[in-house]
Amino acid sequence: METETGIFDESALVAKAREGDAAAYSELVHRYSRKIYRLAKHITQNDEDAEDVLQETFLKGFEHLGDFHGQSKFYTWIVRIAVNESLMKLRKRKADRTVPLDEPLDTGEDTVVREIAVWDEDPEQQYSREELGNILDEAVQSLRPVFRTVFVLRDIEELSTEETAEALGISVPAVKSRLLRARLQLREKLTRFFKRKGDDVFAYL
């Protein structure tokens, strides 16, 4: 639903959906399904599991819509359901054996420069945009789920630190700790890759 000024009015749609308006909920699904699928795919690393998570997330969201009281954005709430469903998929596959690292670190937003890479020459002269995207995607997928999930929510889906903490049910310091670790691991992985390719790389993430 959009206002007269063309601004998407999430709260109005949620209110209608809570009153039993199936069309309003369908519009919310349409609005966020691509993002939820992408998130689920990043976490599960499996197309079929991501499809299952997408369906289960919005089904559970509809069933528990009465529990959503609007203290946060609907998208943050539905993301939390999607993350839980995705991690359940991983546990069922016995693929998630990581131990959460929740120790707080002083990792302010300016601590790590958010750059992907800096080359002496335009990277597109050496790699196509698609190839660069694939290189970064493979590096992200190689992260442990506990770090990958935070990185995807913060740096790909662009949720705030507070929204990410709420979606994952962890503290803000834990989000900052995991995000820093994820960025540093990506920097190391990308540095190794481009050094193997003979590129001169100065800075990452």
Each residue of 182-195: pLDDT tens digit? 998 888 888 877 77
Domains and their CATH numbers in the chain: 10-92 (1.10.1740.10), 123-196 (1.10.10.10)
Q: What is the pLDDT of residue 202?
A: 42
pTM over 0.75: no
Interval 173-182: pLDDT, tens: 999 999 999 9
Q: How far is CA 141 from CA 5, 42, 148, 162, in A?
A: 39, 7, 7, 24
- Summarize the chain as % helix, strand, coil (round to 5): 65, 0, 35
Q: What is the pLDDT of residue 78?
A: 93
Distance CA 188, CA 204 (A): 8
Which stretches in the chain have pLDDT values below 70?
A: 1-8, 94-130, 132-133, 196-205
Distance CA 127, CA 33 (A): 31
Q: What is the pLDDT of residue 8?
A: 64
